[in-house]
Amino acid sequence: MTRLTSDFIKNLMKEYGVDLSGIASVERFRGAPPGHGPLDLVPRAKSVIVGGIRIPDPVVDYDEYHLKMTEMETGLGILANIENFYMQMGHYVQDMMLNIAATRLANYLEVNHGLRSLPAVNAQHTGLGHPVMEATMGFFSQRHAAVRAGLGEFGFSGLVINPRFGPRVRYVSVITEADLEPDPLLTEKVCMRGKCGGDAGPRCQQRCAKGALKLLPDIDLENVFIDIPVRLDRPKCIDMSGAGEVIGCTFVGTCMRDCPVGKQLTNR
């Protein structure tokens, strides 16, 4: 029988199409909301395996495509872009790829090693979840898991900022009884702490048209953010109402697109 090691698991995830992966011990999730920690879902869990898939640059940078769609009224063009690029190719595809990889890994661990393993669904944009309920809280926070697996830190946008790919990554987790060596947490800051926007403040918060992001008081800017440093008004963030060209934040994903950290691997 193959010996389970962290490197073996990461190589397996790579075979399953995952771009990056990390491992956290369940102890790192102490303080999770009741019912949402790994031990609430798998009581004998030892580890949380986290995988991420990068979103291609032209999918994130979709905000000008509607200008060439001369047959569409501007508002409809924006909505078409959001549905086709941001939602379909920037969420649905990655989430289902991640869910499939997580299910394959969970089955591998159970069938070959008898270790109870839960693929913690990334369901927010797969069409599998209830939009009102998901506006409050999912079963398991993939963002918190990614940070606790050493894959990034939280930024002023509330997104996970990976050192190489910035916020342009989607994540999924497998909660498992496998006792694996955890990856170290990041020790170097990744978020620019508002310097990206100059005197006007963090770029992501400047671009948040509905003011959904507010920095929490008494945040220690010198420490790596393993918890979200902002209060996100979720209903405002996902509100798609608006007049003229202002729909939600005009182009959903602006905070992801405008983050300069690990910005893009290709030229626009």
Q: Give the 3-state secondary structure of 212-255.
A: CEEECCCCCCCCCCCCCCEEECHHHHHCCCCCCCCCCCCCCCHH
Give yes or no for a contact between 142 and 171, defined as CB atoms under 8 angstroms apart: yes
**Which DSSP symbol is given to 166?**
B
| Residues listed for the chain | 268
Mean pLDDT (whole number) for 219-248: 74
The vertex-195 CA angle with 191 and 201, nearest 5°, equals 110
**Tokens, residue 267:** 């030229």
In a domain, 265, yes or no: no
Worst-scoring range by mean pLDDT, 11-15, 36-40, 144-148, 234-238? 234-238
Closest CA to 124 of 91, 82, 84: 91
pLDDT bin (cut points 50, 70, 90) of residue 245 is: very low
Three-state DSSP class for 191?
A: coil
Query: Considering the domain boundaries, does residue 195 fall inside one?
Result: yes
Q: How far apart are the first and last CA of the chain?
A: 48
Contact (Cβ atoms closer than 8 angstroms) between residue 166 and residue 20 = no
Which two structure tokens, joined as six digits, stand for 189? Answer: 């800051």
Least confident interval from 80-94, 195-209, 229-243? 229-243
Cα–Cα dist 202/196, whole Å? 6
Indicate whether 87 belongs to any domain: yes
**Candidate ranges 36-50, 134-148, 226-240, 253-267; pick with highest mean pLDDT:** 36-50
SS3 content of the chain, % helix, strand, coil (to 5): 35, 15, 50
* Angle between helix 93-113 and helix 6-15 axes, rounded to 10 deg: 130
Q: What pLDDT, on a 0 to 100 scale, did the predictor assign at position 83?
A: 87
The reply to whether 31 falls in a domain is yes
* Residue ranges making up the domain that contains 68: 6-258
Whether 41 is covered by a domain: the verdict is yes
pLDDT at 173 over 50: yes
Given a contact cutoff of 8 angstroms between Cβ atoms, the answer to whether 139 and 121 are in contact is yes
Residue 264, in any domain of the structure: no
* In the chain, alpha helices (H): 6-15, 38-41, 57-60, 74-81, 93-113, 131-134, 142-148, 203-206, 234-238, 254-258
- What average pLDDT is seen over the chain? 87
Domain count, the chain: 1
Least confident among 121-135, 166-180, 185-199: 121-135
Q: How far apart are CA 97 and CA 1, in angstroms?
A: 27
CB 29 within 8 A of CB 206: no
**For residue 262, is it left (φ>0), alpha (ψ between -120 and 50) or beta?**
left
Question: What is the pLDDT confidence band of residue 241, given thresholds at 50, 70 and 90?
Answer: low
Within a domain: 99: yes
Per-residue pLDDT band at 242 (split at 50, 70, 90): low
Mean pLDDT for 131-156 is: 81
- Quickly state the pLDDT bin for 208 (edges 50, 70, 90): confident
Per-residue pLDDT at 219 exceeds 60: yes
Whether 263 is in a domain gets the answer no
Q: Tell me, what's the pLDDT at 213?
A: 85
Q: What pTM value is reported for the model?
A: 0.90
